[in-house]
Amino acid sequence: MKAVGKTTTMYDASKLTKLGYTNIKLAVIGDDRKYKRMYSLVNTGLVCCEEVEDRCYLTLTDKGARAALVLEASR
């Protein structure tokens, strides 16, 4: 998910970040228990998630790319 428009699955994002699949999924779409939907990456417009045949494909939005640049610059 480094570039806008590049698509990856939640599973691949989990492997890439070395974070658990469940944590990735909940951060991306939320569940209103541990992760509130209103603060999810999809709901805030940072990531688009498209479900195809029981797989979720994630795409970084323009807004998400700008946020990533800000975060990278502050490291």
Domains of the chain plus CATH, in order, are: 7-73 (1.10.10.10)
Residues 6+ apart with CB under 8 A from 18: none
Span 5-44, pLDDT tens digits: 678 899 999 998 999 999 999 999 999 998 899 999 999 9
Structural contact between residues 28 and 35, judged by C-beta atoms closer than 8 angstroms: no
Cβ atoms within 10 Å of 41's Cβ, excluding its own: 22
Q: Averaged over 64-70, what is the pLDDT?
A: 92
Residue 48 has pLDDT above 90, yes or no: yes
Distances (CA, A) of 29 to 4, 48, 74: 19, 10, 26
